[in-house]
């Protein structure tokens, strides 16, 4: 049995809006792309989309997962940044974009990562894959395992570079999942995606993400291009506390992918705003616990509750909580005991579990007997 309580979100000391009607939100821009997606990284709100589950060739966007695997290896201390990688003939012979490593040479992991991210070097990608897994084929197995763990259910990797292959596929939705993981799990490594150029072996090369020169709020992430995949760009920008990720796949030119991505990001920032309503681990409600060593228990959330809403509508948010009416010990920390619901104009936009923020063990025999007696008359 549950009971409901309401909380009204009028935090006027923090957010002040006029009493006039909320700003209308126009339809998202129509982009000349095979598929595209715009999300808020904090709330996961989808602000614009087209064919987000359509299977496409990822081209060099593949290297986002290559980098993710490398970061996982560094995190697990199975790899170090100063570790030397011997350049095989296969990696040296790779066509397409490259950082121009020399066959037989030994290159530090940190330099290959720069070549992988800034220059999108196919040679760097294969060299890292072979060093970590012994072969690029085995490394692709690693990539697919991580994709599955992240929930990228429509992705299959065959190589580490994005070289065309009919079984090498992903979707805009899956690419956005990976982009979010890169940013959230590896913020220090992510900083490299904003670097505009690199020099190796006496050759200076520039990042292919032209948005880095156009908009200071944009700090990544990855371009891709093959004849079959078209021109693709995964971009992310942060303005204030709001970070958006755009995925634009299958445009006709370098300029088109840049312009279309900029248009999509500007749309999101212009017409939407992001808010953290409740922080993880903060007590939202104290409840009575029966037959426990403690009578009171704080309920809260396991993670931040974030929402993305049209600008001018913050005062129209309404929160309510459904809480189990009778809570009997023992209670474990993290145990779900209700839910918090957020509505905007009578439409529920998000719901999250309310959980116990600490454990409560069974009370003494006397306490349990006393509470049982009281509950008989409740």
Helix (H) or strand (E) segment spanning residue 165: none
Q: What's the pLDDT tens digit per position in 270-324?
A: 999 999 999 999 999 999 999 999 999 999 999 999 999 999 999 999 999 999 9
Rounded to an integer, what distance in angstroms lies between the CA atom of residue 197 and that of residue 84?
22
Q: Taking the model in full, what pTM does it have?
A: 0.89
Which residues of the chain form beta strands (DSSP E)? Answer: 2-8, 35-40, 46-50, 84-86, 106-108, 197-200, 203-206, 218-226, 230-239, 242-251, 272-278, 285-290, 296-300, 305-310, 317-324, 327-328, 336-344, 347-356
- The CA distances from residue 236 to 106, 180, 195, 213, 239, in Å, are 33, 9, 14, 14, 10
Q: Tell me if domain 2-16+279-376 and domain 35-273 are identical in fold.
A: no
Tell me which of 2.40.50.140, 3.80.10.10, 3.40.710.10, 3.40.50.720 is the CATH number of domain 35-273: 3.40.710.10
Nearest residue to 337 (alpha-carbon basis) of 319, 360, 318:
360
Known catalytic residue: 135? no
Catalytic residue among 35, 60, 91, 160: 60
The DSSP code for 88 is P
Instruction: Mention every residue, 6+ apart, whose C-beta is less than 8 A from residue 166.
Output: none
Q: What's the pLDDT tens digit per position in 160-218?
A: 999 999 999 999 999 999 999 999 999 999 999 999 999 999 999 999 999 999 999 99
Q: Is the pLDDT of residue 12 over 50?
A: no
Rounded to an integer, what distance in angstroms lies between the CA atom of residue 317 and that of residue 296?
29
Rounded to an integer, what distance in angstroms lies between the CA atom of residue 30 and that of residue 49?
10
Catalytic residue among 120, 125, 246, 261: 120
Q: Is there a contact between 222 and 60 (Cβ–Cβ < 8 Å)? A: yes
Provide the pairing of β-strand 347-356 with 296-300: antiparallel
Q: Is 153 helix (H, G, I), strand (E, B) or coil?
A: coil
Catalytic residue among 35, 43, 63, 125: 63
Q: What's the pLDDT tens digit per position in 238-271?
A: 999 999 999 999 999 999 999 999 999 999 999 9
Known catalytic residue: 63? yes
Rounded to an integer, what distance in angstroms lies between the CA atom of residue 198 and that of residue 372?
71
Provide the pairing of β-strand 327-328 with 285-290: parallel
Q: Name 238's bridge partners.
A: 243
Share of the chain above pLDDT 70, in %: 94
Tell me which of 1.10.10.10, 2.60.410.10, 3.40.50.300, 1.10.1740.10 is the CATH number of domain 2-16+279-376: 2.60.410.10
Mean pLDDT of 17-36: 72
Average pLDDT over the chain reads: 92
Whether omega for the bond prior to residue 330 falls within 30 degrees of 0, making it cis, is yes
Q: Is the pLDDT of residue 13 over 70?
A: no
Torsion angle in degrees (nearest 10) through CA of 140, 227, 190, 183: -80
Q: Name 169's bridge partners.
A: 156
Known catalytic residue: 60? yes
Taking the domains of the chain in order of start, what are their residue ranges?
A: 2-16+279-376, 35-273
Q: Is the pLDDT of residue 222 over 70?
A: yes
């Amino acid at each position: 049995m549950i009971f409901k309580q309401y909380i009204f979100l009028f935090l006027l000391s923090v957010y002040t809006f006029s009493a006039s009607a909320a700003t209308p939100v126009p339809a998202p821009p129509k982009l000349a792309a095979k598929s595209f997606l715009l999300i808020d990284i904090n709330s996961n709100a989808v602000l614009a989309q087209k064919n987000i589950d359509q299977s496409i060739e990822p081209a060099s966007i593949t290297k986002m997962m290559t980098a993710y695997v490398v970061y996982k290896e560094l995190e697990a201390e199975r790899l170090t940044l100063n570790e030397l990688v011997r350049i095989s003939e296969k990696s040296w012979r790779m066509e397409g974009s490259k950082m121009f490593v020399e066959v037989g040479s030994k290159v530090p992991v940190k330099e290959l990562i720069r070549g992988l991210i800034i220059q999108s070097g196919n040679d760097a990608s294969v060299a890292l894959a072979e060093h970590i897994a012994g072969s690029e084929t085995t490394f692709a197995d690693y990539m697919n395992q991580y994709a599955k763990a992240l929930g990228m259910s429509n992705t299959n990797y065959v190589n580490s570079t994005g070289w065309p292959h009919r079984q090498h596929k992903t979707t805009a939705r899956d690419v956005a999942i990976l982009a979010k993981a890169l940013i959230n799990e590896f913020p220090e490594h992510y900083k490299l995606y904003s670097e505009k150029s690199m020099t190796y072996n006496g050759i200076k090369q520039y990042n292919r993400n032209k948005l880095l020169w156009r908009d200071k709020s944009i700090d990544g992430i990855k371009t891709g291009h093959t004849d079959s995949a078209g021109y693709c760009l995964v971009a992310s920008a942060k303005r204030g506390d709001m970070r958006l990720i755009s995925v634009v796949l299958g445009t006709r030119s370098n300029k088109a992918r840049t312009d279309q991505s900029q248009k999509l990001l500007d749309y999101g920032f212009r017409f939407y705003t992001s808010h953290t309503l409740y922080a993880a681990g903060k007590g939202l409600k104290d409840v009575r616990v029966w037959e426990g060593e403690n009578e009171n228990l704080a309920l809260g959330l396991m993670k931040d509750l974030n929402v993305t809403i049209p600008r001018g509508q913050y005062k129209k948010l309404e929160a309510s909580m459904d809480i189990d009416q009778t809570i009997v010990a023992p209670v474990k920390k993290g145990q779900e005991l209700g839910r918090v619901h957020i509505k905007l104009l009578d439409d529920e936009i998000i719901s999250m579990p309310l959980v116990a923020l600490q454990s409560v063990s069974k009370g003494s025999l006397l306490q349990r007997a006393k509470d049982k007696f009281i509950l008989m008359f409740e």
